[in-house]
Amino acid sequence: MTAMSTRIVTLAPALLTLLIMAGRDLAQDEAGDARQGKVVYEQYCANCHGEKGDGNGPYGQDTTPVPRDFRQGTFKWRSTPSGSLPTDADLEKTLINGLFGTSMSGFAETLTHRQRLDVIAYIKTFSPRFATEKPEAPIEIPHEPPYSAESVTRGEAAYKKMNCAQCHGDEGQGDGESADDLTDDWGNPIVPYDLTEGHLKCGNNGSDIYRVFITGLNGTPMPSFADSISPAEAWDLVHFIQSLSPDYPKNVTGAPPTPVGKGEQ
């Protein structure tokens, strides 16, 4: 090894530390201001989610599903493993896109990025978990293989192997044996998704569907398959579920189709 390369190797940890510190400063600048967020929250969120974040706002009582109670730090849509808190980016994605099929609308136009960060900082004050826990690292989503008839066929076999029909039914219509009597963490009745409707609450992209298999949906009966499904099986299952949607071409050419579901942004 030359003297020069030895010096670089010696310096590398110091450089890395500097880079990490710079990254941390950036991350802090990205954190919202909860005090500003309170103003945004009371204007746009409290009517449904309640001034105390308990989901008991005056307009929220007649909605299905009912508004999220923020006090447990439990969120369905996350990039993080089962049970983990969401990242700020996860919460912002829900704020930008809304949740299809629910009363939660998107705030892509209504709120600026800064306002979204502020209101996220405020929402996090409703649960003590955010003060003592950190979200786990987001799951890794490998590159999506092409959508093909073969993948869809293998995905149908994965649907059977993973016993998805127990809740989602043999035809994916949300009418499996265990579909009745399901409740969420708050004791509210909840039904398995009808996968043939053509739009999924957490997004129709391949990666959106893949993510749900691995993370599960916290607070609901939908469990994590992170330890039971392989990446290849999961992608085949994604393609099978996409094939159930009326928006997807049934005559597969091998090229990945562009999803056109209404849940997309």
Partner 1 sequence: MRNGLKILSAALVSGALLLARAALADYTVEAVSNGGTIEGVVKLSGTAPKIAPIDVTKNQDYCGQSIPSPVYSVGKDGGLQNVEVFLKDITKGKALSTNTISLVNEHCMFNPRVQGANVGQQIKISSNDPVLHNTHPQNASTNATIYNIALPFKGFSVTKPLPAVPELIKVKCDAHEWMHAWIWELDNPYFATTGDDGHFTIKDVPPGTYTLVAWHEAAGEKPTPVTVSAGKTVTVNIQLAAAKAP
Q: Work out which of 15, 22, 185, 246 binds partner 1, going by CB under 8 A.
A: 185
Segment contacting partner 1 by CB under 8 A, of 104-112, 126-134, 147-155, 201-209: 126-134
Distance of alpha carbon 203 from the chain centroid: 8
Segment contacting partner 1 by CB under 8 A, of 101-109, 174-182, 201-209, 246-254: 174-182
Question: Does residue 115 bind partner 1 (CB under 8 A)?
Answer: no
Segment contacting partner 1 by CB under 8 A, of 54-62, 90-98, 147-155, 182-190: 182-190
Give the dihedral sign, CA 128/132/136/138.
positive
Q: At what angle do helices 231-243 and 149-161 cross, to 10 degrees?
A: 110
Q: In this complex, which beta carbon is closest to partner 1, that of residue 35 or of residue 113?
A: 35
Q: In this complex, which beta carbon is closest to partner 1, that of residue 70 or of residue 100?
A: 70
Give the dihedral sign, CA 92/93/96/97.
negative
The amino acid at residue 61 is: Q
Question: Does residue 82 bind partner 1 (CB under 8 A)?
Answer: yes
Question: Does residue 186 bind partner 1 (CB under 8 A)?
Answer: yes
Residues that bind partner 1 (CB under 8 A): 33-35, 72-74, 81-83, 128, 131-132, 161-164, 166-167, 177-178, 180-183, 185-187, 216, 218-225, 227-229
